[in-house]
């Protein structure tokens, strides 16, 4: 390893993944820093999937620049997904760096039992996300038609322009309140139904809203065992049928490495 380089960590896995990692290295698989191949560091039955990286490149300005982070984060994820095909993995955050193999080996030794238990807990399971997108115009129409208070007020709007305008504004405010309440109920119902078919679940942050498309109104994460995937999909289909006529579209994405269901290790 070059003197000014550091050890870049992709994920932790079982030793059963070492032949695959070695084969990928022979094929020239490059990681976050394309100059260096992916390799491994063993500790008993555990393996850290690693590569070299130039420490000086991971400075604040680069880490805030999408053009620099984007392709490297993508390569990071590709390495983790390749290892995930043959072993349970504990993925780590992009940009996790150790000064030396010795420092990383010390962490593996210190947390070996926790890592081992975490990997076994994740064996045969993958992360899936469910995103809820809402056609707000359709949802407002359906909710207004089904809500007696809103439909009654709409039927009794005054005929005079000024009074009608004020009454319509009050109806619109009531409709908006009910829309948010309905969306929250739908989210909680979908979360509960899908959690019943998952090993674990969590509510994820919404990404920034971009103009022009359906707004994402919720973002849910699930850890699902391979044996439970059919039941999970059946429950998802049920939720789609239940809410689709109101303009709520549920999008399933995955499988992903279990980023949101990993054991946290102290430094």
DSSP calls for 121-182: HHTTEEEEEEEEEE-HHHHHHHHHHH-HHHHHHHHT--SSHHHHHHHHHHHHHHHHHHHHHH
What are the Cα distances from residue 177, in Å, to 26, 174, 180, 185? Answer: 59, 5, 5, 12
Per-residue pLDDT of the chain (267 residues; tens, 9 = 90+): 555 689 999 999 999 888 888 887 777 777 888 888 898 999 999 999 999 988 888 889 999 999 999 999 999 999 999 999 989 999 999 999 999 999 999 999 999 999 999 999 999 999 999 999 999 889 888 888 777 777 766 666 767 777 677 766 776 777 788 888 999 999 999 999 999 999 999 999 987 765 567 889 999 999 999 999 999 999 999 999 999 999 999 999 999 999 999 887 766
Separation CA 105–CA 41 (nearest Å): 8
Closest among 26, 219, 38, 260 to 129, alpha carbons compared: 219
Residue 105: predicted pLDDT: 94
Crossing angle between the packed helical segments 112-122 and 101-110, to the nearest 10 degrees: 70
Residue 4: predicted pLDDT: 64
Residue 209: predicted pLDDT: 64
Separation CA 170–CA 135 (nearest Å): 22
Quick check: helix, strand or coil at residue 228? helix
Instruction: Retrieve residue 219's tokens.
Output: 């973002």
pTM across the whole model: 0.84
């Amino acid at each position: 390893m070059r003197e000014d380089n550091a050890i870049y960590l992709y994920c932790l896995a079982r030793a059963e993944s070492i032949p695959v990692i070695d084969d990928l290295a022979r094929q020239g698989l490059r990681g976050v820093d394309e100059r260096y191949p992916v390799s491994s560091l063993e500790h008993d039955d555990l393996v850290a999937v690693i590569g070299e990286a130039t420490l000086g490149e991971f400075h604040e300005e680069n880490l805030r620049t999408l053009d620099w982070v984007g392709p490297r984060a993508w390569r990071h994820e590709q390495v983790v997904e390749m290892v995930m095909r043959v072993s349970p993995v504990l993925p780590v955050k992009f940009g996790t760096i150790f000064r030396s193999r010795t420092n990383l080996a010390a962490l593996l030794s210190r947390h070996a039992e926790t890592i081992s238990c975490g990997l076994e807990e994740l064996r045969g399971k993958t992360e899936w996300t469910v995103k809820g997108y809402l056609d707000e115009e359709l949802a407002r129409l359906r909710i207004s038609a089904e809500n007696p208070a809103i439909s009654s007020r709409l039927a009794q709007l005054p005929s005079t322009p000024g009074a009608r305008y004020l009454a319509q504004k009050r109806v619109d405010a009531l409709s908006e309140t009910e829309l948010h309440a309905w969306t929250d109920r739908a989210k909680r119902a979908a979360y509960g139904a899908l959690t019943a078919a998952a090993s674990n679940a969590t509510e994820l942050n919404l990404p920034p809203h971009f103009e022009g498309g359906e707004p994402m109104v919720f973002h849910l994460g699930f850890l699902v065992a391979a044996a439970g995937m059919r039941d999970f999909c059946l429950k998802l289909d049920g939720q789609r049928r239940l809410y689709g006529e109101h303009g709520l579209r549920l999008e399933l994405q995955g499988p992903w490495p279990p980023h949101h269901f990993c054991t946290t290790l102290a430094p």
